[in-house]
Amino acid sequence: MRRKIIIDTDPGQDDAIAILLALAAKDKLELLGITAVAGNVPLELTTKNALKILEVAKETNIAVFSGCKAPLKRKLVTAEHVHGPTGLNGPQLAEPKIKQQDQHGVDFIIDTLRQHPEKTITLCPLGPLTNIASAIIKAPDIVEKIDEIVLMGGAYFEVGNVTPAAEFNFYVDPEAANIVMCSGIKITMMPLDVTHQVLTTKERSQKFANLGNETGKIIYHWVKYFKKFDEEKYKSDGAPLHDPCVIAYLLKPDLFSGRKINVRIETNSELTRGMSVADYWGITDEKDCPRNVNFMRHVDDEGFYQLLFDYLKKLP
């Protein structure tokens, strides 16, 4: 039986690869829809990018919904310096022919969860958690309906990538992130601690180009564009593929390891805004800080990339 998922995203080249991986894995995943959120670039562009990605995969029957255009309480912070002015800089992609749905993304999430049996849908947020938190606020009954949230966000040992203390997704909307963390929903978290282990080395990047399909060539140019930022910033051999870790976990969880811990998000301090306060060593009292997150710490990077190559070569 295929796992039913909703991808909530702010594409982003790495978001794009995650979406393509989910589309390629039809044997295991049923993508019910894609909801766009403001993050890497403004909402108009993240929505358009989601449509473009579907056209790359020739999967134009998947519905795309535009969601929240700003964080719950903050001014939007974007990341064009990493992903380019369009969010998908790299290859030249045509304007999408398919259109977004009229329904708001938050309402799509709520309605879809209500229409399906309890604990049958997994939410896969790849960007700021504004849409997910907004759905919880608007319809608290959906909390009991969600099977699991598997998300990319946060950090502990790797601290921050947008400030010294915070990872980008949680920094953009810390209030939303904390609402999700405190929701009582089963959560698996892919922090920078894991994603910084799956680097797009020169050899791995070339393998995308050599997959034998047009999608692989497009991915190669996406990677070539966005890895420049990380290579300069971290002096690393490539850039992390953050968001595909979410989909890879759904397909092969044994690639990852971690532990269940308490995670809360800093919302009050401007110095540490969006910081993942992760009790990895069990310092706090379980009664005061119950373990609410399956926090991933390690990944088999070679196995991760082999999974990507095996699935992505199935696409056009």
The dihedral sign for the CA sequence 109, 112, 116, 120 = negative
State how many domains the chain has. 1
pTM of this prediction?
Answer: 0.97
What's the mean pLDDT in 191-200? 97
Gap between the terminal Cα atoms of the chain: 25
Cα pseudo-dihedral 269, 11, 299, 193, rounded to 10: -20
State the pLDDT at residue 312.
Answer: 98
- Confidence band of 57 (pLDDT split at 50, 70, 90): very high
The rounded percent of the chain whose pLDDT value lies above 70 is 100
Distance CA 55, CA 37 (A): 19
- 182 exposed, middle or buried (CB, 10 Å; 0-12, 13-18, 19+)? middle
Which residue out of 83, 196, 221, 242 is catalytically annotated?
A: 242
Are 51 and 256 within 8 A, CB to CB? no
Domain housing 265: 3-312
Q: How far is 201 from 198, CA to CA, in rounded Å?
A: 9
Residue 269's domain is classified under what CATH number?
Answer: 3.90.245.10
- Give the per-residue pLDDT at 206: 96
pLDDT at 236: 85
Q: pLDDT class for 1, splitting at 50, 70, 90?
A: confident
Catalytic, 81? Answer no
Instruction: Retrieve residue 135's tokens.
Output: 């759905």
Is the pLDDT assigned to residue 162 strictly greater than 90? Answer: yes
